[in-house]
């Protein structure tokens, strides 16, 4: 255990000699590996080398590279082992540091934005991963490839000229990727030494996206300049102190002041705004700062010539991180022509309002006159309707009086004459005058029958004695006897008491409608339905005839049908009633009469 061993471990020789060194100096995890070395030495496999750590007396450790050999006796057995060691702790640390440095460098190179490659006379001998991404070739494909073949012919010539000139700097070149797509790259190359040989290192950066962005930005700026130039407004950028650092060229046309006066801040915007409008502008900006950061305001300025112009300002407030105003940008429009037009329109509107008021007053006066005339006409028409109704009732009373006279006077006289003639016929049975008496009796029978028919024509007794529904039932039987039309009557379950005028009118209307069915409908059946609600009385007449087009013009085109319905409607209107028609060619006709109903004490009267 020589002096060097003692200096490395801190142990003196007498502390080590005679002790098992693997218990004293070896790390527990390395003992098995060292034991394998001794097994090989015992088996005659020497010399041998290995590395392991030794523990120092103060608890540290050193790395030692060992070279071992063995002394063999005459019997061929190993008598002892001699080991010489070299402290390689520092060297190993340097190697690890170098390896880590190389790994970090390779990581930086591979993960950088630029593709990097080294070439010897254009043959690629090394490259980073980014180079493969840019070109589309794999690393294996690029190694050994002629770098100049990656570029277009025009770019190849530029590369050769650049290298031959000995310059150092950047070039913009066109590179053709493996997929055939051309991209623009920015290249920087410089001479270098690679593995002891002269070479050249080149960095490439894909600037296609940047160039496209630059071109897009240039186009956008051009569009913006064109927009600003053609926009019928002045674009501005200013600050809270009313100074402005940008106006487009139209500002001089609007204000009369040179643009340079505002750019140099010799003139502030508040200097041209009318003083009475400034508070409103400040208030609008203050509100916008608390809410939407934008505002629209109309105000006035005085131009260099002293003229007052109306402007509409549309501004956006841009704040800094602390919420304070950084700058204000926006546009303002010259709305003086609109304001002048609004003033003219307001004056014209006021003029129109005066005319309307005057015309309205005149129309009110005329309207009052028309109302008076209409009221007078309505009173006249009401009087005419009342007169017509009264005439109708008078006619009906006269017809009834005549019918009663025919029945009570003439009818009774004819009946008595017929009785007397019968007695006379018995006495003259064997007389030559018997045949003449029989002939007179025949004449009397005809007179009695004619008188009875005339009585029913003038006034139906059953209509007054029984009521409308009973009279309509009698009428249905008569139409079946005389015309062969089967008419069914469905009575209302509730009693209906009719005023004389309404009862007579409704009976005549029903008889007229049944007559129309016979004349025009070519029907075999008809039905009359009575129905009463709280407020209305309905009478519905249906038939299974040929029907007709119920439109007013079409009905009149048929002749009597249309005129008859028109007449019925007119007579109903005197009582406030209505008539509706539902009919079509080939599907019969349904006519509904409705009349206002007024209940008396027991709820059974119609007028």
> Of the given ranges (4-13, 79-88, 348-357, 519-528), which has the lowest mean pLDDT?
79-88
Percent of the chain with pLDDT over 70: 84
Please classify residue 75 by burial: count the beta carbons closer than 10 Å to its beta carbon, then call 0-12 exposed, 13-18 middle and 19+ buried.
exposed
Look at the alpha carbons of 561, 562, 564, 568 in this order and tell me if their dihedral is positive or negative. Answer: positive
Confidence of residue 504 (pLDDT cuts 50, 70, 90): confident
Confidence of residue 228 (pLDDT cuts 50, 70, 90): low
Q: Examine the pLDDT at 361 and tell me if it is beyond 80.
A: yes
| Maximum average pLDDT range among 129-133, 176-180, 387-391 | 176-180
pLDDT tens column, 277-332: 888 888 887 888 777 788 888 889 999 999 999 988 888 888 888 888 888 888 88
DSSP, res 178: T
Look at the alpha carbons of 404, 405, 407, 409 in this order and tell me if their dihedral is positive or negative. Answer: positive
Q: Examine the pLDDT at 197 and tell me if it is beyond 70.
A: yes
Distance spanning both ends of the chain, measured CA to CA: 149
Looking at every residue in the chain, the average pLDDT score rounds to 81
Rounded mean pLDDT, 221-247? 76
pLDDT tens column, 398-415: 666 666 666 566 766 777
Nearest to 331 by CA among 246, 223, 226: 246
Higher-scoring residue by pLDDT: 424, 407: 424
Q: What is the pLDDT of residue 395?
A: 64
Tokens (6 digits) for 232: 């019928």
Confidence of residue 535 (pLDDT cuts 50, 70, 90): confident
Supply the pTM of this predicted model. 0.34
SS3 313: strand
Q: Which residues contact 329 (CB under 8 A, 6 or more apart)?
A: 235, 236, 237, 238, 315, 316, 318
514 near 487, Cβ under 8 Å?
yes
Nearest to 166 by CA among 191, 146, 185: 191
Name the strand (E) or helix (H) holding 580: strand 578-583
Higher-scoring residue by pLDDT: 583, 417: 583
Tokens (6 digits) for 91: 């060297």
Percent of the chain with pLDDT over 90: 21
At 264, phi and psi to the nearest 5? -85, 0
Q: Examine the pLDDT at 602 and tell me if it is beyond 60.
A: no
Cβ atoms < 10 Å from Cβ of 498 = 21
Nearest to 47 by CA among 16, 84, 79: 84
Q: Examine the pLDDT at 416 and tell me if it is beyond 50.
A: yes
> Of the given ranges (294-303, 462-471, 533-542), which has the lowest mean pLDDT?
462-471
Q: Given phi > 0 = left and psi -120 to 50 = alpha, else beta, which region is 362?
A: alpha
Higher-scoring residue by pLDDT: 54, 487: 487
């Amino acid at each position: 255990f020589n002096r060097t061993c003692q200096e490395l471990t801190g142990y003196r020789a007498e502390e080590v000699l005679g002790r098992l060194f693997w218990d004293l100096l070896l790390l527990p995890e390395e003992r098995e590996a060292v034991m394998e070395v001794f097994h090989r030495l015992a088996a005659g496999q020497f010399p041998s080398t290995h590395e392991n750590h030794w523990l120092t007396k103060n608890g540290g450790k050193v790395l030692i590279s060992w070279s071992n050999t063995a002394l063999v006796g005459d019997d061929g057995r190993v008598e002892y082992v001699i080991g010489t060691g070299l402290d390689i702790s520092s060297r190993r640390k340097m190697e690890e540091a170098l390896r880590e440095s190389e790994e970090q460098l390779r990581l930086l190179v591979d993960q950088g934005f630029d593709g990097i490659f080294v070439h010897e006379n254009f043959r690629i001998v090394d490259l980073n991963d980014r180079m493969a991404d840019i070109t589309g070739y794999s690393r294996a494909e690029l190694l050994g490839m002629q770098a100049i073949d990656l570029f277009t012919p025009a770019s190849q010539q530029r590369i050769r000229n650049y290298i031959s000139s000995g310059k150092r700097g950047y070039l913009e070149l066109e590179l053709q990727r493996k997929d055939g797509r051309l991209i623009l790259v920015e290249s920087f190359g410089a001479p270098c030494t690679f593995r002891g040989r002269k070479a050249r290192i080149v960095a490439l950066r894909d600037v296609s996206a940047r160039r496209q962005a630059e071109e897009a930005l240039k186009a956008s700026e051009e569009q913006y300049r064109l927009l600003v130039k053609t926009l019928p407004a002045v674009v501005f950028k200013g600050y809270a102190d009313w100074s402005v650092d940008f106006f487009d060229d139209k500002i001089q046309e609007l204000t009369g002041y040179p643009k340079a006066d505002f750019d140099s801040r010799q003139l502030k915007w508040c200097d041209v705004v009318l003083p009475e409008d400034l508070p409103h502008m400040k208030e609008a900006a203050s509100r916008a700062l608390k809410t939407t950061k934008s505002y629209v305001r109309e105000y006035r300025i005085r131009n260099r010539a002293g003229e007052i112009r109306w402007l509409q300002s549309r501004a956006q407030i841009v704040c800094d991180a602390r919420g304070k105003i950084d700058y204000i940008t926006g546009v303002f429009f010259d709305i003086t022509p609109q304001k002048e037009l609004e003033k003219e329109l307001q004056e014209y509107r006021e003029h129109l309002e005066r005319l309307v008021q005057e015309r309205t007053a005149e129309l009110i006066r005329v309207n009052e006159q028309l109302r008076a005339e209409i009221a007078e006409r309505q009173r006249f028409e009401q009087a005419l309707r009342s007169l017509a109704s009264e005439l109708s009732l008078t006619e009906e009373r006269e017809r009834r009086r005549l019918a009663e006279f025919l029945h009570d006077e003439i009818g009774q006289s004819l009946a008595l004459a017929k009785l007397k003639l019968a007695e006379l016929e018995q006495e003259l049975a064997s007389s030559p005058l018997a045949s003449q008496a029989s002939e007179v009796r025949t004449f009397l029978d005809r007179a009695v029958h004619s008188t009875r028919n005339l009585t029913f024509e003038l006034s139906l007794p059953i209509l007054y004695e029984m009521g409308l529904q009973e009279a309509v039932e009698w009428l249905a039987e008569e139409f079946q006897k005389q015309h062969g039309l089967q008419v069914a009557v469905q009575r209302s379950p509730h009693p209906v008491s009719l005023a004389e005028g309404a009862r007579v009118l409704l009976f005549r209307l029903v008889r007229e409608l049944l007559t129309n069915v016979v004349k025009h409908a070519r029907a075999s059946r008809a039905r009359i339905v009575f129905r009463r609600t709280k407020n209305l009385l309905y009478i519905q007449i249906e038939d299974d005839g040929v029907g007709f087009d119920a439109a007013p013009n079409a009905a009149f085109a048929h002749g009597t049908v249309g005129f008859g319905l028109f007449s019925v409607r007119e007579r109903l209107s005197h009582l406030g009633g209505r008539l509706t028609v539902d009919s079509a060619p080939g599907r019969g006709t349904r006519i509904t009469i409705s009349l206002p109903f007024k209940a008396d004490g027991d709820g059974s009267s119609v007028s």
